Chain A
Amino acid sequence: MKPFAVLKLAVNLLKSQRLAGELSTLFFALTIAVTATTAVSFFTNRIDQTLLQQGGLLLGGDLAITSREPVVEKYRIEAQKNSLKLSETAEFPSMLVLGENTQLVEIKAVDAAFPLRGDFEIIVSDKTERVNHGPNQGEVWIAPQIAENLQAKVGDILTVGEAQLRVGAVIINETSRGGDMFSIAPRLLMHYADLPATKLVQIGSRIKYQLLLAGSQNTTQISQYYAWAKPQLVAGDRIDDVKNARPEIKSALDKAQQFLGLSAVTSVILAMVAMCLASVPYTQKNMDTYALMRCFGASKSRIWQLLGLQILILAFVASSLGCLIGFALQALLSSFAGALFVEKLASPSLIPLALGFFTGIGMMLTVMLPQLIRVSKVPVLRILRRDFLLSNQYLLAYLPAVLLTITLIYLQANSVNLTFAMLIILLVLVGLASLLVKLAAKLISAIQFKPSNTSLGFASVIRRFNLVSIQVAGFSIGLMVLALLSIVRNDVLQNWQASLPVNAPNRFMINIQDTQKTGVLTQLNAMNIRQPVVFPMIRGRLTAINGAPIDLNKYSDERAKRLLQREFNLSTALNMQADNKLIIGKWWQANELNQPWVSLEEGITKTLNLKLNDRLRYEIGGSTIELTVKSIRTVEWDSMQANFFAVTPPGTLANYSASYITSFHLPDTKISELNQLVKTFPNLTVIDLSALIKQIRDIIFKMTAAVQYVFLFSLLAGLAVLFASLQATSEERLRETVLFRILGASKQQLAKILWIEFLLIALLASFIALLGANALAYYVSENLLNIPYQFNWFFSIQVLVAAGILIPASAWLMTRKLLATPPRQLLQSI
């Protein structure tokens, strides 16, 4: 047989089966599998990029290199080589003069490319505009506060250093402002080219130069640049990406990405399960064909060729179709989801398409391998003796499929531990499924039922023990991943909501004097502001550790040097703050006040190399005190609560003068009342975090929407795949249904038998699934997402009920047609 003739015959055989149910199920399962993989990874890929860009809004770019010197040329050259967009800025505080009035401002000089991400909302001639560029040369844009304090308006000329610049606009909103939470002075934006004329840049002036970078399409560009630039940095320079620039965004982004990865893993597992379930009846149906071919003289290798070619062709067509549908679906999905994002979703990369396609081919080949081996070993005698047993399956033949699944899970989850955990759970599930079915079968046969439809339904389970085991295993894996996704989704969403509650503090008030404490609190109380917690703040410099004076030269870390040069804010508290977590040592008791003890934040102990029981000498207002480190704790800096590196028991620092700090939530309606309060106590400084909080909340809202969309899609894909696998096993039932009908069973009887059988399958499967899902959810929550895991009874019951209704109902829906067909007609279709 010539190769072409083999191909032609393979195509012919394949084409001839177009109507056969087994082929369409296999094809359907693979198409859905590829569609799900492609669409989910397309969508997650695009959302991933968009989220990074969203985060980039706060930074003004995807990456920022910050330096005390103008940015070195090589960073720019490398960026251009990688075709990254770039922009340069310089930031520094300065006094501004207009007539009699002066004002401290935070100047930011930006070039024409700024901002790379985000935009400005400005007022020019009473009209609010959104623009994605900074001021023109010769122009400044000023914050409303400057305009008010200096009585300046658009068109006025301001003196900035030695330059005369015209006010071009008033800035209402600056997306990249979020990067500097505690820059108190109002913003003045000017063009980078005007900087020399101001003569403000002198040796020793504290200027923060930034080179901002942004990629056009994929995030790998950015991560490659980051990896290149990081080792090039000199002391004092910093490179930040979106994640390390803002901890709140980082943790939210990480969780979103992990969830999206998990969704993709889900679709992979579902697809494999459906394919495995569909492959069995496909080969069973084809067994006769190949036995007959052997009878007609086809060699084993010819059978391999014919089957292999058919499978390849099938895989090729189904994968292509799946890719196409996947692409179309994500486009549709993105057009809905895109509306939720400020900017449009990032355009899709081609990687998911290639991934989906090759995943499809790989799945088909590996899943079919054991079946191919079975078929090629089909005994020819099967032709004459229909009862001839099929050759035993080789467990080793399943290895490629298992390896592929592991690879795909790893590719999508990007975590060895998670892959390993998934694998273990999957193996346990399969074992548990066959064990429980065996137990159930034993139990059923032990109970003497009165002959009824119910007992017939139970009997079906015993009779088809192997099929039922496979089905329970398949359903439980499918349900498990869907349940896992639901649990994790809930955890992530709840965690996000909890991290920034509606009444999260949006104002910090610092510099409250001892004498003003009561007055300020009374007034805040009068404004109906929830009793805010007031913390004392004592400024002290760390001068010696364990008796040895601090030698700055011993510290190579820049941050350590900076910290040691500055004064620390020490505070006192009786109880540890709710968002802190003790990791080592003991917190003090109520009877241990006045002790010379201190509790430190974990990060600072690492930076300064401090450990439990170290003695720290602080110099506070000319006198010194030695404190022993009694505990080390973590602090959630993203909780928007006031927090301190060093806390002592109440009374310990009673002899030192303290100012007070508080944070509280100020409703928008109370802004003028707060201004009134500040007028009464003019030394107070109020830091407004509402813009930052709004931005963070916006981003989290968008991530929530993205997670919901992807979850919904995975759910749909999962249900479709479960449906496909249900269909895959329906063929076996056909014969029996026919027999039952011929023997006189009524449609109602058959329906009842079916319902009972599938109800049992559904309940067993969802019970196993819930065990697995909760075990995995526990692992994912505690270890990957750092969210405390909670078992949800209500959800578990929901899953049991939903599976108990949905699975039998789908099975019934699918066999309904069979039940309505006259038995004579059914006989012909066996």
Chain B
Amino acid sequence: MLANTHHASLQSTLKQSLSVTDQPQQVVLLAENICKDINSNGETLRILSQLNLHCTAHETIAIVGASGSGKSTLLSLLAGLDMPTSGKIVVENQDITLLNEDARAKLRGEKMGFVFQSFLLLPTLNALDNVMLPLQLAGNLDAKNIAIDALNKVGLRHRLTHLPKQLSGGEQQRVAIARAFAPKPALLFADEPTGNLDALTGQNVIELLFELNTNTGTALVLVTHDEKLAVRCQRVLKLVNGSLIASPQTKVELEAAQ
């Protein structure tokens, strides 16, 4: 099992380096040797240790792992929501560990999109306003049209003025996806995007995410438990003991194995 994993990991690394040399892909996200310690009751706990990750444009990566393995912590570090104890994280050629919180926020606004397990729509804003919000914050003057277009793409053209609580869970997540894709980010982080949805709705949301990934070229970094979702990604990385190891579960690899 261990050898197998090791082998897969090697294979994956090989493939990555190959692809880099074959067709030079732009690296949108790079994490080098990141460590994250937290203090818990006076004891220092190392959540992430010497973790490495890189993601190129268009790429889709799933990060899986047991509960409490540090998936969400990793995601928050990659998105610049939190700072690593050591190591460096580069997003679109900018080392975000060197930026202050406001600069990181600016970078998030320009380059990153987010989809959360609990949707996190603003309860008092309707669907359209929710999608418009990041666009408005970025100073986009055409926010409304872009937002309508984005909602159209997720099939919610007819629900623009509905408040989140008037929408079903699936619809809410579709609004969140429209909100994430509307500013055309280079990188999209999704934290258990199907975690709060039933199987069928979850499936629809997955289709939507990958469809948009194909159409827009936005790289996807997903944290998930959902195997169906994980296997759709080009790479599946498993977080074990604070480090990422490749897992031979991707659709491509499964197909190759067959």
Interface residues, chain A, CB within 8 Å of chain B? 1-2, 5, 8-9, 12-13, 16-17, 19-20, 288-289, 292-302, 380-381, 383-385, 828-829
- Partner pick for B81 among A1, A301, A383, CB 8 A cutoff: A383
CA of A385 to CA of B117, assembled, Å: 12
* B27-35, B128-136, B203-211 - interface stretch: B128-136
Structural contact, B129 and A383, CB atoms closer than 8 A = no
| Minimum C-beta distance from B140 to chain A (A) | 9
Q: Which residue of A lies closest to B122 (CB)?
A: A289
* B46-54, B105-113, B238-246, B247-255 - interface stretch: B105-113
- Partner pick for B120 among A20, A292, A297, A381, CB 8 A cutoff: A292
CA of A294 to CA of B80, assembled, Å: 11
Structural contact, B141 and A5, CB atoms closer than 8 A = yes
Structural contact, B136 and A9, CB atoms closer than 8 A = yes
Q: Which 5 pairs from chain A and chain B are nearest by CB?
A: A297-B109, A1-B139, A296-B134, A16-B124, A299-B102
- Partner pick for A297 among B75, B82, B108, CB 8 A cutoff: B108
- Partner pick for A293 among B110, B129, B133, B191, CB 8 A cutoff: B133
Given A5-B139, A16-B122, A292-B120, residue A385 in contact with residue B72 (CB < 8 A): yes
Structural contact, B114 and A295, CB atoms closer than 8 A = yes
CA of A9 to CA of B129, assembled, Å: 10
- Specify which chain A residues have a CB less than 8 angstroms from the CB of B81 in the assembled complex: 295, 380-381, 383-384
CA of A383 to CA of B125, assembled, Å: 17
Structural contact, B109 and A384, CB atoms closer than 8 A = no
Structural contact, A1 and B124, CB atoms closer than 8 A = no
Is B3 interfacial (CB 8 A cutoff)?
no
- Specify which chain A residues have a CB less than 8 angstroms from the CB of B124 in the assembled complex: 13, 16-17, 19-20
Structural contact, B76 and A384, CB atoms closer than 8 A = yes
| Minimum C-beta distance from A652 to chain B (A) | 88
CA of A458 to CA of B165, assembled, Å: 35
- Partner pick for B137 among A8, A298, A828, CB 8 A cutoff: A298
Given A1-B139, A5-B141, A289-B122, residue A295 in contact with residue B108 (CB < 8 A): yes
Besides the known contacts A17-B124, A380-B82, 6 further A-B residue pairs in the complex with CB atoms under 8 A apart = A1-B137, A2-B141, A297-B107, A381-B82, A384-B191, A829-B165
Of A9, A302, A380, most buried by chain B (CB within 10 Å of CB) is A380
Structural contact, B165 and A828, CB atoms closer than 8 A = yes
Structural contact, B109 and A298, CB atoms closer than 8 A = yes
- Specify which chain A residues have a CB less than 8 angstroms from the CB of B110 in the assembled complex: 297
Is B116 interfacial (CB 8 A cutoff)?
yes
Q: Which residue of B lies closest to A23 (CB)?
A: B124
| Minimum C-beta distance from B98 to chain A (A) | 17
Q: Which residue of B lies closest to A12 (CB)?
A: B129
Is B95 interfacial (CB 8 A cutoff)?
no
- Partner pick for B105 among A20, A299, A383, A828, CB 8 A cutoff: A299
Is B14 interfacial (CB 8 A cutoff)?
no
CA of A2 to CA of B140, assembled, Å: 9
- Specify which chain B residues have a CB less than 8 angstroms from the CB of A296 in the assembled complex: 108-109, 114, 133-134, 137
- Partner pick for A299 among B72, B76, B106, B136, CB 8 A cutoff: B106
| Minimum C-beta distance from A25 to chain B (A) | 15
Interface of A is mostly: helix
- Specify which chain B residues have a CB less than 8 angstroms from the CB of A12 in the assembled complex: 125, 129
Structural contact, B120 and A383, CB atoms closer than 8 A = yes
Is B37 interfacial (CB 8 A cutoff)?
no
Is B224 interfacial (CB 8 A cutoff)?
no
CA of A460 to CA of B102, assembled, Å: 40
Given A19-B124, A381-B76, residue A294 in contact with residue B139 (CB < 8 A): no
Classify chain B: how many residues form its interface, as a range. Answer: 20 to 34
Given A5-B141, A289-B122, residue A384 in contact with residue B75 (CB < 8 A): yes
- Specify which chain A residues have a CB less than 8 angstroms from the CB of B134 in the assembled complex: 296-297
CA of A20 to CA of B138, assembled, Å: 26
- Specify which chain A residues have a CB less than 8 angstroms from the CB of B133 in the assembled complex: 9, 292-293, 296
- Specify which chain A residues have a CB less than 8 angstroms from the CB of B141 in the assembled complex: 2, 5
CA of A12 to CA of B136, assembled, Å: 11
Is B101 interfacial (CB 8 A cutoff)?
yes
| Minimum C-beta distance from A178 to chain B (A) | 65
| Minimum C-beta distance from B190 to chain A (A) | 12
Is B218 interfacial (CB 8 A cutoff)?
no
Within 8 A of A (CB), among B162-203: 165, 191
Is B126 interfacial (CB 8 A cutoff)?
yes
| Minimum C-beta distance from A51 to chain B (A) | 49
Structural contact, B72 and A297, CB atoms closer than 8 A = no
Contacts between chains A and B (CB distance < 8 A), count: 89
| Minimum C-beta distance from B204 to chain A (A) | 22
Q: Which residue of A lies closest to B138 (CB)?
A: A297
As a 0/1 sequence over residues 64 to 99 of chain B, the CB contacts with chain A under 8 angstroms (1 = contact) are 000000001001100101100000000000000000
CA of A5 to CA of B141, assembled, Å: 8
CA of A302 to CA of B136, assembled, Å: 11
CA of A519 to CA of B194, assembled, Å: 111
Structural contact, A16 and B125, CB atoms closer than 8 A = yes
Structural contact, B125 and A298, CB atoms closer than 8 A = no
Of A1, A298, A384, most buried by chain B (CB within 10 Å of CB) is A384
Q: Provide 25 A-B residue pairs closer than 8 Å at the C-beta atoms, listed in order of the A residue.
A: A5-B136, A5-B141, A9-B137, A12-B129, A17-B124, A293-B137, A295-B79, A295-B105, A296-B109, A297-B106, A297-B107, A297-B108, A297-B112, A298-B109, A298-B137, A299-B106, A301-B102, A380-B82, A380-B105, A381-B76, A381-B81, A381-B82, A383-B120, A384-B75, A384-B76
Q: Which residue of A lies closest to B118 (CB)?
A: A386
- Specify which chain A residues have a CB less than 8 angstroms from the CB of B136 in the assembled complex: 1, 5, 8-9
CA of A295 to CA of B82, assembled, Å: 11
- Partner pick for A288 among B101, B109, B112, B120, CB 8 A cutoff: B120
- Specify which chain A residues have a CB less than 8 angstroms from the CB of B107 in the assembled complex: 297
- Specify which chain B residues have a CB less than 8 angstroms from the CB of A294 in the assembled complex: 101, 105
Given A16-B125, A288-B120, A384-B76, residue A300 in contact with residue B108 (CB < 8 A): no
- Specify which chain B residues have a CB less than 8 angstroms from the CB of A384 in the assembled complex: 72, 75-76, 81, 116, 191
Q: Which residue of A lies closest to B80 (CB)?
A: A380
Of B81, B134, B139, most buried by chain A (CB within 10 Å of CB) is B81
Q: Which residue of B lies closest to A293 (CB)?
A: B137
Structural contact, B165 and A300, CB atoms closer than 8 A = no
Given A12-B129, A384-B75, A384-B81, residue A297 in contact with residue B139 (CB < 8 A): no
CA of A289 to CA of B125, assembled, Å: 10
CA of A13 to CA of B126, assembled, Å: 11
Q: Which residue of B lies closest to A296 (CB)?
A: B134
Of A8, A289, A297, A383, most buried by chain B (CB within 10 Å of CB) is A297
Q: Which residue of B lies closest to A1 (CB)?
A: B139
Structural contact, A297 and B105, CB atoms closer than 8 A = yes
Structural contact, B122 and A292, CB atoms closer than 8 A = yes
Q: Which residue of A lies closest to B82 (CB)?
A: A381
| Minimum C-beta distance from B116 to chain A (A) | 7
- Specify which chain B residues have a CB less than 8 angstroms from the CB of A385 in the assembled complex: 72, 76
- Specify which chain B residues have a CB less than 8 angstroms from the CB of A288 in the assembled complex: 120, 122
CA of A8 to CA of B137, assembled, Å: 11
- Specify which chain B residues have a CB less than 8 angstroms from the CB of A13 in the assembled complex: 124-125
CA of A826 to CA of B216, assembled, Å: 40
- Specify which chain A residues have a CB less than 8 angstroms from the CB of B109 in the assembled complex: 296-298
| Minimum C-beta distance from A663 to chain B (A) | 74
| Minimum C-beta distance from A113 to chain B (A) | 64
- Specify which chain A residues have a CB less than 8 angstroms from the CB of B112 in the assembled complex: 297
Q: Which residue of A lies closest to B113 (CB)?
A: A296
CA of A12 to CA of B120, assembled, Å: 18
- Specify which chain B residues have a CB less than 8 angstroms from the CB of A381 in the assembled complex: 76, 81-82
CA of A611 to CA of B22, assembled, Å: 114
| Minimum C-beta distance from B225 to chain A (A) | 16
CA of A573 to CA of B75, assembled, Å: 97
| Minimum C-beta distance from B142 to chain A (A) | 12
As a 0/1 sequence over residues 119 to 159 of chain B, the CB contacts with chain A under 8 angstroms (1 = contact) are 01011111001000110111101000000000000000000
